A and B are shown apart, each in its own frame.
Chain A
Amino acid sequence: SQQGEEDPQALSIQEGENATMNCSYKTSINNLQWYRQNSGRGLVHLILIRSNEREKHSGRLRVTLDTSKKSSSLLITASRAADTASYFCATDNGSEKLVFGKGMKLTVNP
């Protein structure tokens, strides 16, 4: 069953702008993770935020988690053409597997 749902499904921005992606989920979680996938490749782990954390930073990435709203957001600041990819959120809800959303396609135009 689908746990995380990313929103919007597609986003097109200009280089230098910020990109914000949202993820909503249904059940309580232990952690939430964001991954990136370039076309035809495997997923690459970006960042993990635990249920007792509210915000986390990694380089140009900022992730927030609101467990009361069951939602997370991924912010990419000062986007680059190389950030063009699909982005997925994945949740650990205590079962022995990560459940991935359908993904969001980000296009950064040079």
Chain B
Amino acid sequence: NAGVMQNPRHLVRRRGQEARLRCSPMKGHSHVYWYRQLPEEGLKFMVYLQKENIIDESGMPKERFSAEFPKEGPSILRIQQVVRGDSAAYFCASSQRDNEKLFFGSGTQLSVL
């Protein structure tokens, strides 16, 4: 019973490129959350999705950022035209019910050069 899988583990992009972060939730989980973490800081909520629906995207910048959780396949967090300030660890979590126990992936460390 695999846990939450995120890939890639590390992603290096140059300014202006696109970053695509993938997250496969735990089997049987239909709730997916994306969080962003800067060094020595807590997690900042970005977006909450259920299959094919964005439930809450209040923490995600309106420009350049988008997220999806299609019927088939992993959830994708997409950052277009990355800037240095996008450098951070991005964590995905899943749960069976909203706001109950979250299971986290190991994160994707995005570095923008």
Which residues does A use to contact B, with CB under 8 Å?
A: 2, 30-31, 33, 35, 41-45, 48, 88, 92, 95-103
Please list the 6 inter-chain residue pairs (A to B) with the smallest Cβ-Cβ separation, ordered nearest first.
A42-B104, A92-B99, A102-B42, A100-B43, A43-B104, A100-B42
Complexed CA–CA distance, A95 and B100 (Å): 12
Which residues does B use to contact A, with CB under 8 Å?
A: 4, 6, 33, 35, 41-45, 48, 55-56, 58-59, 91, 93, 98-107
Between A and B, how many residue pairs show CB distances below 8 Å? 60
Complexed CA–CA distance, A101 and B41 (Å): 9
Q: List, in ascending order, chain A residues with CB within 8 A of B101's CB.
A: 33, 45, 48
Distance of A40 from chain B, by nearest CB (Å): 8
Is there an interface contact between A96 and B98, defined as CB atoms closer than 8 Å?
A: yes
What residue of chain A has the Cβ atom nearest to residue B91's Cβ? A42
